[in-house]
Amino acid sequence: MAKSADNVESLKIQKGKINILIIPNEMYSETLKKIVKNLSDQFEIISYVSLNKSYPSLMNFLKENGADFEKFIIIDPITKISELKDINTDQLIHVSSISALTELSITINKVLEKTKSEALIVDSLSTLLIYNDEALITRFVHSLIGKVRAFGTTAILPILARDSKTSLIEDLSMFVDKIDDLGKSTSKKENESEKAK
């Protein structure tokens, strides 16, 4: 994959697969815009774990970038309850904190089961690393991968390139279907396949 957010539009998000996307820091916002549009075009029900944007900001972000926001169920651990009191929507599920990984895990499981979400995006693994210990994140994501596989849901797990050198990616690489490094010309799994030939 070329070093351009423009090529994210052609990123083939395969149904039922789990992908880690390593995104160069300077390309994160532009790349995320294209990813949400791509998901919106491919899937009818998408669960979005928003660890970077409040619900109102995320809704604006989705609308501004051509994504059909009606397709998204938002799991939000960052918006304050007081900010949500005037919001009446079935699209929003509040979680108490980014650090409440057990609550977040249970909530994601319930949402996937109840809504039959076809796709899940966790924005982002880098944000989880800020608020939680790396070993806890690894266990959380490993558990999440098991749940996603059980439901046959497609998952997109973005991480900033600066955080991709952590043991988290190495530990998770054997459990995901593909790791795409958007700052390099090909994905890591494709490189491994070529070396094995």
CATH of residue 191's domain is 3.40.50.300
Residues 177-190 pLDDT 10s: 999 998 875 444 44
Q: Residue-wise over 34-57: b if at least 16 C-beta within 10 A, else e?
A: bbbbbbbeebebbbbbbbbbbbee
Instruction: Look at residue 189 and give its three-state secondary structure.
Output: helix
Q: Give the domain extent around 191.
A: 5-196
CA distance 43 to 173: 25
> How many domains does the chain fold into?
1
DSSP lists the bridge partners of residue 23 as 160
Supply the pTM of this predicted model: 0.88
- Work out the mean pLDDT of the chain and round it to a whole number: 87
Contact 121, 36 (CB under 8 A): yes
How do residues 64-83 score in pLDDT, each as one tens digit? 999 999 999 999 999 876 66
